[in-house]
Chains A and B, each alone.
Chain A
Amino acid sequence: MSDRSLPFTRRKFLASSTLCAAASIAMPSILRAQEAGVKLGILHPVSGALSYSGTQGRLGATLAIEEINAAGGIKGLGKIDPMLGDALSTPEGGTAEVEKMNSAGVAAIIGGYASAVCLAVSQAAARYDLPYVVDVGVADAIVTRGLKNTFRFGPGFGVIAKTALDNLAEINNHAGKPAKTVMIVHEDSLFGSGLAKLLNTQLPQHGFEILETIPHPTPTRDFNNVVLKIKAQNPDLVIPANYYNEYVLLARTMQQQRVKPKGIYSVLGGAASSYKFVKEFPDAAKYIMDCNHWFDPGSPKALALKKKIEDKGQFYTYEVYMNYSCVMLVADALARAGAADRAKLTAALESSTFSGHVMPYGPTKFVNGQNQGAAPVNTQVLDNDIKVVLPANFAQAKPVFPIPA
């Protein structure tokens, strides 16, 4: 994006050669003033379909950078100079930003958010052996292509689906197995479809019967027919996997049609563990369970960050704390590498055992780019608040299941 130190030298170029603007973009790397410190690329889909999540992600990352800089920057290397990029919610947008960031000499790129963007960004960055830390993107393909530069801090589909089902089985067994039948409602692009596929193979293995799997597009204007089907087949459990807007519509429609299954168990539910949803629709949100990214409720750092975000009038969403953690991770790796050198940074990330993050993952350990300790946790909306219910060592409350009549 725009280099804050020399915006108007670029403008002069554009003014004098509109049609040669293409050529003028080649110039910036020569004109850039030299600054001490470390450049980091912060790339998110800030405009386009995913702009809310992208903006939240950027917020988390920039807060982390501010904190680090306020404490004097990275040991031995100086302050972090962030280069903010807009991936435009498309792979092409992401790729173009990677090129710019690479030309600007960033030490690493953090972000991506959407799996399709992460796939493109990781490939583009791999050409330059530029370390890239994925914030959220859950597609397994992101880390299974053998790209040495790509690191994922959070969990992928495979781990999420497995954890979700293991936890579901545990909750169900503990309550005396009241739930047998399931209906899955998922959004039909990469994240929802991929998850649904895994759930379809693994749910029967845990003894659940899938009555129907309902895909829907994003955006979906109306869920009345979906809820009609749910009502007609009366499953014990409804498993939604979709983005915020559709999740809210689904939940409200279920409320409207008085559909009350024994449990709503989301996996990566868009709103199921969202403070915004709980605040705006407390009745529809009650008792909803989610297996999703969540911060460590026992970490003072996490709670301090929560307060900071809420003081700004924003909601404390997973994009915020995951990006915050990723920046902290990279800062730590840079300090250990001792230089803003890509190869050294990659090696430092590979051997990283970082615990200064705010996620319930334990110290980081990367194998083939995937952080082994990364896992989702189970939350439930209880008493108008979101509480962690599993795993036991992070739990704040016991799960309430089935939903009281």
Chain B
Amino acid sequence: MRGLLPIAVVVAALAAVPLVVQSNTTLNFLVVTLLIALAGQGWNILGGYGGQYSFGHAAFFGTGAYVTAILQVRYGVNAWLAFGAGIVIGAAVGGIIGALTFRARLRGSYFALVSLAFAEVLRIVASVAPITGAGVGTLVKLDLRVEALQFQSRAAFFWVVLALVAISLLVAQRLERSRFGTWLIAVRENEDAAKALGVNATQVKLCAMMISAAITAAAGCFYTQYFLFVDSGIAFGTRMSIEALLTPIIGGAGTVFGPLLGALVVQAVGEGAKLVAGDAPGLSLIVYGCILILVIAFAPRGLIGLVETSRRRVARPAKREAAHG
């Protein structure tokens, strides 16, 4: 996907949605979907483009969420500043974890597991540390004013998270076309070969990790502002880590729109499963799990991969004709 045009079109189309759709149920659904898409966009930078599959992205999500909450509640910091601080500190945490793991040259499954471990450590600490409210969690005061980054209308929240997603789309797009992106993809494809060609793999991965962490942290900050409550399970639990990796992979890892598409599909499937299965406990999740397996079985390179494969299949006969003609 080249150029800024596709991004502009998609963002504009999404931005128009609240003008057309009045139902708060749908708007809420879309806000949550975009939040997850944002977290996935972050993961995608490191995992999709960089090939480093992190299983603990909740570490950054939770950092963003807690920093935003704690700064407002305990130190009276303005919500917008707290939001920014959440992103910056999230990136810093990414830097620390990255420095430790990439210096130790951890790759593949080892990296996946160590990232999981870091997220767990943060979760445990957050569940006992007084500053986070320990088990009780941190509750941000309901204050529906723009200055407090809270809004009466769901549409306003929608536009805020959409803006963040738009920025992440731009970041991904810029990355794809930059030298840094080429290095990153080279590291993903074959780290040793990349190093032999002079790419500083550790530095590249570290940089990618920090960008990735910043974006996912932004999702966490937004969570705090939208739901106004955060505790250690919500912030650092495996649920968010899994959502962050699931959506890009389903949508298409290493593509600009993969996480966004993946989030829409995964959330829609979840809702669809609930409608089909009714209210028996667990049934909707069984349907959800089955659909997940089916999607992976039939679209192993994600949905965007599916589109590209079919496009190639259509193009191939034409090429053959051209070659023979």
Contact = CB atoms under 8 A, between A and B. Distances in A.
Contact of A189 (B21, B135, B142, B272): B135
A145 B141 contact: yes
Interface in B46-93: none
B94 interface: no
A200 interface: no
Interface in B114-157: 124, 127-128, 134-137, 139, 141-142, 152
B132 to A, nearest CB: 11
Contacts of B23: 25-26, 29, 103
Given A145-B142, A188-B134, A103 B25 contact: yes
Interface stretch (A14-22, A261-269, A365-373): A14-22
Contacts of A99: 24-25, 28-29
Interface in B243-289: 264-265, 267-269, 271-272, 274-279, 281-282, 284-285
B11 interface: no
A2 B26 contact: no
A403 interface: no
Contact of B26 (A11, A22, A193, A197): A22
A10 B277 CA distance: 12
B229 A86 contact: no
Given A29-B23, A92-B32, A2 B279 contact: yes
Given A22-B33, A215-B128, A194 B135 contact: yes
Contact of A84 (B28, B231, B279): B279
A131 interface: no
Given A14-B272, A25-B23, A96-B29, A19 B265 contact: yes
A19 B277 CA distance: 19
B142 A190 contact: no
A2 B271 CA distance: 10
B75 to A, nearest CB: 19
Contacts of B204: none
Grouping DSSP codes into helix (H, G, I), strand (E, B) and loop, the B interface class, with mixed when no group exceeds half, is: helix
Interface string B1-44: 00000000000000000000111111011101100000000000
A371 to B, nearest CB: 22
A364 interface: no
A217 B233 CA distance: 11
A11 B276 contact: yes
Most buried by B among A2, A25, A103, A217: A25
B25 A25 contact: yes
Question: Which of A19, A102, A189, A192 has most B Cβ within 10 Å?
Answer: A189
Interface stretch (A115-123, A243-251, A382-390): A115-123
Contact of A22 (B22, B135, B141, B268): B268
B290 to A, nearest CB: 15
A392 interface: no
A95 B282 CA distance: 19
A51 interface: yes
B112 interface: no
Contacts of B26: 22-23, 25-26
A317 interface: no
A7 interface: yes
Interface in A86-135: 86, 90-92, 95-96, 99-100, 102-103, 116, 119-120, 123, 126-128
12 contacts: A1-B278, A1-B279, A18-B265, A22-B271, A91-B227, A92-B227, A99-B28, A116-B234, A147-B142, A190-B137, A194-B136, A217-B124
Interface of B: 21-26, 28-30, 32-33, 124, 127-128, 134-137, 139, 141-142, 152, 227-229, 231-234, 239, 264-265, 267-269, 271-272, 274-279, 281-282, 284-285
Closest 3 pairs between A and B when the two form their complex, measured CB to CB:
A193-B135, A21-B268, A99-B25
